[in-house]
Structure 1
């Protein structure tokens, strides 16, 4: 009992501490609001300018930005992926984006695992988690691999949802890393070459591709669900 009570107080203390920092440390509160605003603009150049403003600390700031967007789902991670490619070159940018996204995914996983569903719902949304739950029930670990093929879509809700399952951390971690790596390399390479109107055009294509994949997956889930219902009804009729 003492250990349980101690761990509970530690969890509460961390939450209270973070809230106090946000409420009473003005630079932190102002900085978070600015970051959220930058993400809402969907402007890679704005993100690049913000990262560059920190000089030699730019890679560390980029790393922390990726972790922040992971926790504060569903901010778009692809903005940082493109910004890193433009600032540090596509190879170093890809490595930075991949490693920071992995750190963010692990943090989301453990937040859900330690604090439970209520905390995950507040950081994401109840509806989104319920939908991901269904996806996990149907596809299990493959859900992680599928979602990680789309790095320009926030994957963080899936990371939270994985933390609520019985899935082991290392199974989650390896599936995340393998699924994310190919797309991160591709989009870092493309992002390093984008400028002006071409950038907007590619963004449009990425969004269209993303929506197409999501529609396909939702249609597949819907068809599978209907097939299962039909099979269940047939079985009931045969029994009667």
Structure 2
């Protein structure tokens, strides 16, 4: 699902570039740079709020590469996504397990309990790579498990780097979708998604049925 959404975003950008009078990447980044430090700060805030509000993360990750370039976009996006995930985590802790269970389902929470019980840091890293576990669901669900906030934040930041880097690379090359790096990033994303699905299903099976 994440891969499909990412493909749709990149395709839409390519079509828009072909039929509309859009600025080239250099012009767009010059416009962004003209706003100084405000641009990455605003984008960081958008990523943080969007993450907590269930906005599709691949859209923002792709936009980060288009607006800022791969490395700067990666840094801003990962920081924003991590901040939003921690906000969701803390909100869930504040609301309590009963409220979150009514929202996400008690079965999902039992599985997350079992996953995080083994190793909170490693489990968080793995869950960030898995398209079978929605990002927002794992953020709110983790908040009422035994994982420590520091382990959750660290694991989230580490686990977000590979997928965000690939999305940012696709965004960086969005107006040139046939370029070798664009194709390589798309293939890398597909491989990561397949590995994530297989790994994630094994992890969830070991954790027990959702009930």
TM-score interval for Structure 1 and Structure 2 normalised by the shorter chain: 0.5 to 0.7
1:125 aligns with 2:91: no
CA distance in 2 between partners of 1:110 and 1:183 (Å): 24
5+ residue gaps, structure 2, are 15-21, 23-27
Q: Per-residue CA shift, 1:10-56, capped at 9, x if unaligned? A: xxxxxxxxxxxxxxxxxxxxxxxxxxxxx9xx53549xx9xx89984
CA distance in 1 between partners of 2:167 and 2:130 (Å): 10
Secondary structure in 1 aligned to 2:147? coil
Q: Per-residue CA shift, 1:140-169, capped at 9, x if unaligned? A: 432101122358x74232222222123322
Cα distance 1:58–1:168, how it changes in 2: closer, same or farther (>3 A)?
same
8 A Cα contact 1:77 1:154, kept in partner:
no
Cα distance 1:225–1:107, how it changes in 2: closer, same or farther (>3 A)?
closer
Per the TM alignment, residue 71 of structure 1 is displaced from its structure 2 partner at its CA by 1.5
* Pairing partner for 1:100 from 80, 89, 104: 80
Per the TM alignment, residue 91 of structure 1 is displaced from its structure 2 partner at its CA by 1.6
TM-score normalised by the chain length of structure 1: 0.58
8 A Cα contact 1:129 1:157, kept in partner:
no
Root-mean-square deviation (Å): 3.9
1:218 aligns with 2:201: yes
Residue matched to 2:139: 159
- How many pairs does the alignment contain? 181
1:109-188 aligned at under 5 Å gives the runs: 109-121=89-101, 125-126=104-105, 127-137=107-117, 140-149=120-129, 154-188=134-168
8 A Cα contact 2:65 2:172, kept in partner:
yes
Secondary structure in 1 aligned to 2:79? helix
Q: Which of the pair is proportionally richer in helix?
A: 1
Cα distance 1:215–1:94, how it changes in 2: closer, same or farther (>3 A)?
same
Cα distance 1:58–1:118, how it changes in 2: closer, same or farther (>3 A)?
farther
Residue matched to 1:81: 61
Secondary structure in 2 aligned to 1:141? helix
Larger radius of gyration: 1
Secondary structure in 2 aligned to 1:132? helix
Residue matched to 2:49: 68
Secondary structure in 2 aligned to 1:120? helix
Per the TM alignment, residue 120 of structure 1 is displaced from its structure 2 partner at its CA by 3.2
Per the TM alignment, residue 175 of structure 1 is displaced from its structure 2 partner at its CA by 2.0
